[in-house]
Amino acid sequence: MSRSVSEYLIQKSREATDVELGQSWAQLDELHAKKLWHQLTESIRVFVNHPCFQNGGLVEFYHNFITDFEHKINPLSLVEICLVIVREMKDYDEALLFIESIKEKVKNDVESRVLCMVAIGGVKLIANKLDEVKEIMEEAGQLLDTIDGVTPVHGRYYDFCSEYSKIKGDHAGYYSNALKYLGCVDLTTMTINEKSTRAFCISIAALIGEGIYNFGELLVFRRQAHERRIDFSTIAEAAQIDINDVELLVMRGLSLGLVKGTIDEVDKQVNMTWVQPRVLDYSQVSRIKERVCEWVSQIKLTKQLMEDSAPELIIAN
């Protein structure tokens, strides 16, 4: 082990303000000495969020410790760690240079590269360099298309795109990317405040974004398929509007063909008979699965019949 690295960790352990923190520094020293890179990586991912770094020290931690073995760290994990560290850098050029250097180190891993690009785009977004952000967004999107399935990086990308759309005032873009983001993340990890904020922003985007408003996507999370009658108060709450504006909103939805139904002005309810099917519930997905299974069975049966009949066809010819 590098003598300077060991000395740095021992010194930090001695300077620790409490026993637990001292033990954490000592554990890093031990894992590094034993070259247990995976365990060390996981420990660092947790440790960089320790309160001891609230007033700084992460950049020093990176240069005095992580640089010694960063080539041993999983590329995506390295980027995740460095994204915490870069928050400490208040200077635009310093932050940009740091992420660019990490991007170069993980350039052979597509997910890691995209995550670095998203981080670079985030720095430029704060600096209001929107044209450069758009270029990064498009390039990163093309790279993501080469990745099979949906990864956590997809969620970070769509979140980044939604923030860009919000700043640009592109309500339809925000609406689309925000929903894609929610489709990539575990909603249980989001705080109540974050859920409320996102729901409000998506609702507003749905209301004022051209051609994208959909009652189903706003209410599907709280209405069962058999619940056709919806109170004005429920719609007002979900859409974040005054209850007196609900009737006008529903009429607008009816005129655009987004929903079908009738308005009961006396009971202050809307009877929904049809909603534009852009969101599938579990029963709809289940029915699609059944149809696909039926098609697969029919294809297998046809294939078997052709194989069985092939010799006879050959003889007949």
Residue 76 inside a domain? The answer is no
- Name the residue with tokens 């400490």: 88
209 part of a folded domain: no
Domain that holds residue 300: 286-317
Which CATH number do you get for residue 235? 1.10.10.10
Same domain, 249 and 268: yes
Q: What is the pTM of this model?
A: 0.67
Percentage of the chain beyond pLDDT 70 is 86
How many domains would you assign to the chain? 2
Query: Is residue 239 included in any domain, yes or no?
Result: yes
Structure tokens at 24: 């954490």
**Does some domain include residue 190?**
no
Write down the pLDDT at residue 99.
97
Regarding whether 222 and 256 lie in a shared domain, the answer is yes
Same domain, 275 and 292: no
Write phi, then psi, for 259 (nearest 5 degrees).
-140, 160
Same structural domain for residues 270 and 315? no
Higher pLDDT pick, 184 / 276 = 184
Non-local (6+) Cβ contacts of 156 within 8 A are 115, 118
pLDDT over 60 (residue 278): no
Asked if residue 77 belongs to a domain, the reply is no
pLDDT tens per residue, range 150-208: 888 999 999 999 999 999 999 889 988 998 898 888 888 888 888 888 888 887 887 77
Mean pLDDT of 56-75: 95
Domain co-membership, 269 together with 316: no
Question: What Å distances lie between residue 22 and 11, 18, 33, 109, 149, CA to CA?
Answer: 10, 6, 17, 35, 42
**pLDDT for res 138:** 95
Dihedrals φ, ψ of 210, to 5°? -70, 120
- Whether residue 128 lies inside any domain: the answer is no
pLDDT at 68: 94
Q: Is 256 inside any structural domain?
A: yes
Contacts of 122-127 with C-beta under 8 Å, sequence gap 24+, read 122/160, 122/163, 123/86, 123/92, 123/95, 123/96, 123/99, 124/96, 125/160, 125/163, 125/164, 125/167, 126/92, 127/92
| Element of type H or E holding 269 | strand 269-275
Tell me if 119 is assigned to some domain: no
